[in-house]
Structure 1
Amino acid sequence: MHTKDLSTDPKHPVDELPPLGRLVPLGVQHVLVMYASTIAVPLIVAAGLGLPTRDVVALVAADLLLCGIGTLLQSAGVWRIGARLPLVIGAAYNGVVPMVLIGTEYGLAVMYGSIMIAGAFMVVCAPLFGRLLRFFPPVVVGTTITLIGITLIPAGARMVFGGRPGDPGFGAPPGIALGGLTLLVVVLLYRFLPPLLAQLSILIAMVLVTFVALFTGQADFGHVGNGPIAGVPEPFHFGAPSFNVVACLSLVLIQFVLMVETAGQVLAVGQAVDRPAAPRDIAAALRADGVVSALGGVFQSFVYITFTQNIGVVSLTRVRSRWVTATAGVILVLMSVLPVFGRVVAAVPKPVLGGATLAMFATVAVIGLRMLADVRRDTPNLVIIAVSLGVGLVPMALPGAYGELPQSVRLFLDSGVAVGTVTAVLLNLLFHHLPVPRWEQAEEGSI
């Protein structure tokens, strides 16, 4: 009952509407933080499927549109769709590999039919998943959030260092300098700006360092004027979807993993904004992810998930209003129909984006560690945390570790967050939900 009263209290900071002068820049800040991850998925999928430039432009536009719609649903809410918390939605990295495999083997029509089915599955299963919340205590959720933050950090580092070792230009000093300068400016702004301006530290730092990059020849805005100013993403760009049972089942499996991630992220943001998430909030958030994923089969983009990195923005800025992320959703929709704005954001150097997102990703890990700090430090919980983190970090620590296993198995094992989360859930069931052994009962009775 207490949670219900909080969620309907218009005076709660989550429901406050900041003045327009702060609302727009705070919303832009969220867009900038998520933008690199948002456009990465269409670029990777297009490269994996060998799509021409015209199709890449269509994928990016459709992706921005659905990210905007999904963010509006999560933030503002419609009926029972959307958690009404400061959350954003973006294309899920976990869906990239199975999408490319399905598109390569069965064709784009089957790929988009599978996306529609996976989204519908999430919508239908959302209420049931919300009722399973008791199987996701802080020891499980904290482990999941910690894994998400840690496994995201390499993505920010790759933007700073220019990809992976061996890539052309990897480790170039100018890029490292830009990324380090961005991180330093963020810290200094948080330290010395007044509280209201400090909330915009990430945005201000990115703008300032982008100007530095422009004057030092590391940024180029010359292409911003190239291409159309406006254009509406078209449904069924690649034709009508079709369906294949095997392809649908593979994406449904991935969607279940995404449901676990979303549940953890909603719980984390609920803690960050001091509005604990209830099972119905989890179900509402899952419906939003599912609806947008199903629309991905119509506008022919991707599967979608509630993004994690923006939780770091909320935690660092302490701006808890869901209308800020709703504004970010509006901006994303505008960018989808006004691609000139997208070209402006795309011109921001990757090292600048990487320097800012490093702090955001690390903050997500800190949120998870803070949850784990409140967990009772007994042997079962230590085993759950240690084993889950150890198993979940293998794909990041040793890329390609599961390369000799069947592709269907690798789809799961290569996702460290998925493996770690499932491990934590199973170990929690083993230690906290199965009957206590007789010898343990006798030992407790003798104390």
Structure 2
Amino acid sequence: MASHPSPVSPVDERPRFGPLVLLGLQHVLVMYAGVVVVPIVVGAGLGLPQSQIADLVSVDLVLAGIGTMLQAFGVWKFGIRMPLVVGAASNGIVPMVLIGSTQGLSTVYGSLLVVGVVWVLIAPLFSKLLKLFPEVVTGTVITLIGLTLIPVGLKLIAGSAPSAHNYGAPANLALAGFTLALIAVFYRVFRGLLGQLAMLIALTVGAIVGWLTGLGSLSGVGHGPVFGLLRPLHYGALHFDIPSILLFLVIVFVLMVEASGQGLAVGQVVGKKVGPRDIANLLRVDGLLTALSGVFNGFAYTTFGQNIGLVALTKVRSRYPVAVGGMILIVFGVVQPVGRVIAAIPQPVIGAAAVATFAALTVSGIQLLSRVDFNQTGNLVIVMLSLGVGLIPAGAPDFYQQFPFAAQVFLKSGVATGTVLAVLLNLLFFAARKRRPEEPLARREPAAELSQS
């Protein structure tokens, strides 16, 4: 009897070249703002001239592209081989500015080199904690990631400073609303490839309308260098300072918790089991990119969740469009006018797309939680408290401002605090019973139930 070849996993399917490039560009547009904001904020916080900030953006795009390709393709023990993107971590902004302004960027990059190497080495140990993430915890984390990211899109639409005179300008809200309406209409009308590219088409139309109505401008596209190249050790020989390294190690712990959640989230969305080895491979990429940043003047890097919602929305679960997206990021970093066109897309348009994709990720978490038995008090408490505490930084950014700085580094990451709390509550309610929290009570014997009373 002839054996039939095993079907190809949706993650490993290869779309045709044309759709592949367009789908890859769509992933880039969804996460682009998150990539470039870190070098811009760090550069401004350190008082760097515009030319050096542009160099930081260029380096960031190239390193993010390399990391994204590694996560999608996988090389040896580096990369989860899933549709995940990599970018500079916003958690690293404060320590970079703090250390950079007092001890110089040479100390910042010396610290990043050390913690990046440590990150790679401890990735296999950290990944063994995966057994602490049953369905109720994973669903909570995915939902929390989506809910935490939605305000990021809202800030792109309305502005980040409520005191600014143009905060919530009706024109910006109208452009974002128009873009959201386009997304809904295109997903309703288009089928096949056009349906998968509905987000990209809506972004393009929204950007054109924004430019025509004066809410964005292409005037700066022709200014500046055509090519940007990595310049190793641009800020001088590396300097190693123990307190600075320890501060960044705290950041690394937060990023490892967050990135593990992203790996579990994408596994649920694409329908592929994610194990400890996969998480270790994912974390090694983040560590490698952070170590390379010490030499090439980059940042602390992490695996993003921005595009997971897009995967859920488009139903294109292949990792190859994301790999192409990594190549596009490298092109944007090297051929700078191309990147400047993307950067010129009006922020309300990008914000509208971000809100839609992050909301789609939230729905994925809710779908996973729908399989959890909430007749069990423990499951209800895990989700209730983890979401409530995890959303504090998003709803009240200054909530922890009276805490020591080292504590704020952790507490201000809602995903990290919510994830750790969910894990601890799961251990509190279910570890002693040695059963999965999603296991229905009806499956247990009455005598066993009485024995727990």
Distance (whole Å) between structure 2 residues aligned to residue 181 and residue 9 of structure 1: 45
Distance (whole Å) between structure 1 residues aligned to residue 335 and residue 314 of structure 2: 29
The one-letter amino acid paired with 1:236 is L
Q: Which residue of 2 aligns with 1:445?
A: 451
Specify which of 150, 169, 172 is matched with residue 169 of structure 2. 172
Displacement of 1:106 after TM fit? 2.5
Q: Which residue of 2 aligns with 1:4?
A: none
2:70 is paired with a residue whose SS is helix
1:305 is paired with a residue whose SS is strand
Distance (whole Å) between structure 1 residues aligned to residue 452 and residue 398 of structure 2: 50
Displacement of 1:231 after TM fit? 2.2
Displacement of 1:445 after TM fit? 3.3
Q: Residues 218, 135 of structure 1: CA spacing in aligned structure 2 closer, same or farther, 3 A cutoff?
A: same
Specify which of 108, 111, 133 is matched with residue 108 of structure 2. 111
Distance (whole Å) between structure 2 residues aligned to residue 444 and residue 129 of structure 1: 37
The one-letter amino acid paired with 2:40 is L
Displacement of 1:410 after TM fit? 1.4
Q: Which residue of 2 aligns with 1:192?
A: 189
Displacement of 1:61 after TM fit? 0.5
Specify which of 150, 159, 165 is matched with residue 153 of structure 1. 150
Q: Which residue of 1 aligns with 2:117?
A: 120
Of residues 304-313 and 392-401 in structure 1, the stretch that sits farther from structure 2 once superposed is: 392-401
Distance (whole Å) between structure 1 residues aligned to residue 111 and residue 27 of structure 2: 30
Q: Which residue of 1 aligns with 2:32?
A: 35
Displacement of 1:341 after TM fit? 0.8
Q: Residues 51, 383 of structure 1: CA spacing in aligned structure 2 closer, same or farther, 3 A cutoff?
A: same
The one-letter amino acid paired with 1:199 is Q
Contact 1:10/1:16, CA 8 A, preserved across alignment: no
Alignment of 1:331-370 (within 5 A): 331-370=328-367
Distance (whole Å) between structure 2 residues aligned to residue 329 and residue 446 of structure 1: 52
Displacement of 1:145 after TM fit? 1.8
TM-score when normalising by structure 2:
0.93
Contact 1:312/1:363, CA 8 A, preserved across alignment: yes
Size of the alignment, in residue pairs? Answer: 437
Contact 1:199/1:319, CA 8 A, preserved across alignment: yes
The one-letter amino acid paired with 1:384 is I
Q: Which residue of 1 aligns with 2:58?
A: 61
1:70 is paired with a residue whose SS is helix
Specify which of 242, 246, 255 is matched with residue 243 of structure 2. 246
Percent pairwise identity: 51
Specify which of 215, 232, 237 is matched with residue 229 of structure 2. 232
Per-residue displacement from partner, 1:37-73 (whole Å, max 9, x unpaired)? 1101111111221111121011100100110000010
Distance (whole Å) between structure 2 residues aligned to residue 442 and residue 209 of structure 1: 60
Give the 4+ runs in structure 1 shifted more than 6 A.
Answer: none
Displacement of 1:10 after TM fit? 7.1
Q: Which residue of 1 aligns with 2:383?
A: 385
Specify which of 215, 219, 236 is matched with residue 218 of structure 1. 215
Q: Which residue of 1 aligns with 2:393?
A: 395
The one-letter amino acid paired with 2:325 is A
Distance (whole Å) between structure 2 residues aligned to residue 113 and residue 364 of structure 1: 36
Displacement of 1:164 after TM fit? 2.7
The reply to whether residue 407 of structure 1 matches residue 413 of structure 2 is: no
- Unaligned ranges ≥5, structure 2: 435-445
TM-score when normalising by structure 1:
0.94
Displacement of 1:332 after TM fit? 0.6
Contact 1:70/1:292, CA 8 A, preserved across alignment: yes
Displacement of 1:99 after TM fit? 2.0
Per-residue displacement from partner, 1:129-149 (whole Å, max 9, x unpaired)? 222211121222222222211
Distance (whole Å) between structure 2 residues aligned to residue 233 and residue 51 of structure 1: 17
Distance (whole Å) between structure 2 residues aligned to residue 83 and residue 442 of structure 1: 41
2:356 is paired with a residue whose SS is helix
Distance (whole Å) between structure 2 residues aligned to residue 268 and residue 405 of structure 1: 31
Q: Alignment RMSD, CA only?
A: 1.8
The reply to whether residue 319 of structure 1 matches residue 309 of structure 2 is: no
- Unaligned ranges ≥5, structure 1: 1-7
Q: Which residue of 2 aligns with 1:3?
A: none
Distance (whole Å) between structure 1 residues aligned to residue 326 and residue 452 of structure 2: 59
Displacement of 1:9 after TM fit? 6.2
The one-letter amino acid paired with 1:445 is S
